[in-house]
Amino acid sequence: MAAMRIGEVARHSGVSTRMLRHYDTIGLLAPSGRTSAGYREYSTGDLKRLFQVESLRSLGLSLAEIGTALDDPGFSPAVLLDRLLVRTRERIAREEELLARLGDIRDGAPAEWAQVLHLIPLIRGLQSALPARRQSSALAMTGKDAAALARALTEALLAEPEPNAAGALKWALRRAGDAAFGPLTWALGSPDARVRYRAVDALADLDTPEASTELIAALNHSDPAVRRRAALATGSRGFGDALPELLTMVIDGDRDVEAAETIGALARSRELTDEIAGTILAELDGLDDPGARLRLTQALAELPGETSAAALSRLTADADPNVARSATFLAGLAGRDG
């Protein structure tokens, strides 16, 4: 192949004459020859070098790194490729952060640039590395801001390790109302147990029909921690679906005091005292665990009305002395209160 001048190389390679001159200036690609008039002439070897330069540029190498890679016989490609992998992952992370930020702003349906400029510092605050800034950003939000940034708020809450910041994020998310429902529902299926629990805990703070429906569904969740948080929330709202899980909590001794109090509140709100007392007595008859039987006996004392008193009276003659003593004491307290 005959030598080519710089203009021909530019036409065939797609590399501008300006860039070719720059390569020559920095010593990355110097043409092998010159015409009698002083024009650059590129040989077949020069064109091969140009192809190598452009190939390495496509991987994201700097011109200095390309020069080292091509000219240093002892250079290790693995070292440079590892460095490129790290840089590329960092760039992708920055781009994904930008993508999420753009999505959050778009979710807010801004009609004017003033709204965009208002939302940007709030989003940046939620993504700050400083817990205090994340907290102050959440506290600065109006209800409209929170609804517009519900997805960003949810993601921040589900990842928040600091209790004070988490409390502020939950407060802001409550102000978002139904807008927060979708992201939280999705998070209940997360493979991360901490994310699942934070999601159900946040749903429990949303006192809306949609949140209640999702919490009732969560009573059948495969994660016991999710089921039990859902039971405390739905039971306190008067949903009888929570009773089986609440009784399991009492029997297992997992947040049993809260569960017993919730059972009492459920009985009062739905006039279910007779039904609940009968269910507890049936559980007692089938249990051998002394600790579980004692906790169920104490749960009976949370129930209002004569049915609870009658059930406790029956248990004063229980074969388990601890149950009998507890029932006698609790029945006496109920009598004095009455």
Domains, the chain:
4-75 (1.10.1660.10), 76-183 (no CATH)
Q: What is the per-residue pLDDT for 100?
A: 76
pLDDT digits over 138-182, tens only?
999 998 888 888 888 888 998 898 999 999 999 998 888 777 777
At 34, is the secondary structure helix, strand, or coil? strand
Non-local CB neighbours of 15 within 8 Å, separated by 6+ positions = 9, 50, 54
Query: Residue 202 pLDDT more than 50?
Result: yes
Mean pLDDT on 229-258: 95
pTM of the entire structure?
0.65
pLDDT digits over 260-272, tens only?
999 999 988 767 8
Exposed, middle or buried: residue 123 (CB in 10 Å: 0-12, 13-18, 19+)? buried
Confidence label for 336 from pLDDT (cuts 50, 70 and 90):
very low
Q: How many residues are given for the chain?
A: 338
Confidence label for 334 from pLDDT (cuts 50, 70 and 90):
low
Burial readout 89-110 (b: 16 or more C-beta within 10 A, e: otherwise): eeeeeeeeeeeebeebbebbee
Q: Output the average pLDDT for the chain.
A: 87
Confidence label for 136 from pLDDT (cuts 50, 70 and 90):
very high
Q: What is the per-residue pLDDT for 71?
A: 87
Q: What is the per-residue pLDDT for 291?
A: 92
Residues 144 and 179: their CA atoms lie apart, in Å, by: 10
**What residue spans of 108-180 are helical by DSSP H?**
113-126, 131-139, 143-148, 150-159, 163-176
Exposed, middle or buried: residue 4 (CB in 10 Å: 0-12, 13-18, 19+)? buried
Residues 327 and 214: their CA atoms lie apart, in Å, by: 37
**What residue spans of 271-320 are helical by DSSP H?**
273-285, 290-300, 306-315
Q: What is the dihedral of CA 253, 254, 255, 256, to 10 degrees?
A: -30
Q: What is the per-residue pLDDT for 275?
A: 86
Query: Residue 102 pLDDT more than 50?
Result: yes
Confidence label for 40 from pLDDT (cuts 50, 70 and 90):
confident
Residues 66 and 44: their CA atoms lie apart, in Å, by: 20
Q: Tokens for 174? A: 């409550």
Q: What is the dihedral of CA 52, 54, 56, 58, to 10 degrees?
A: -150
Biggest CA-to-CA distance, the chain: 120
Closest to 226 in 3D by CA, of 247, 196, 254, 255: 196
Residues 229 and 145: their CA atoms lie apart, in Å, by: 28
Q: Which region among 45-54, 103-112, 189-198 has the lowest average model confidence (pLDDT)?
A: 103-112
Exposed, middle or buried: residue 82 (CB in 10 Å: 0-12, 13-18, 19+)? exposed
Q: What is the per-residue pLDDT for 338?
A: 46
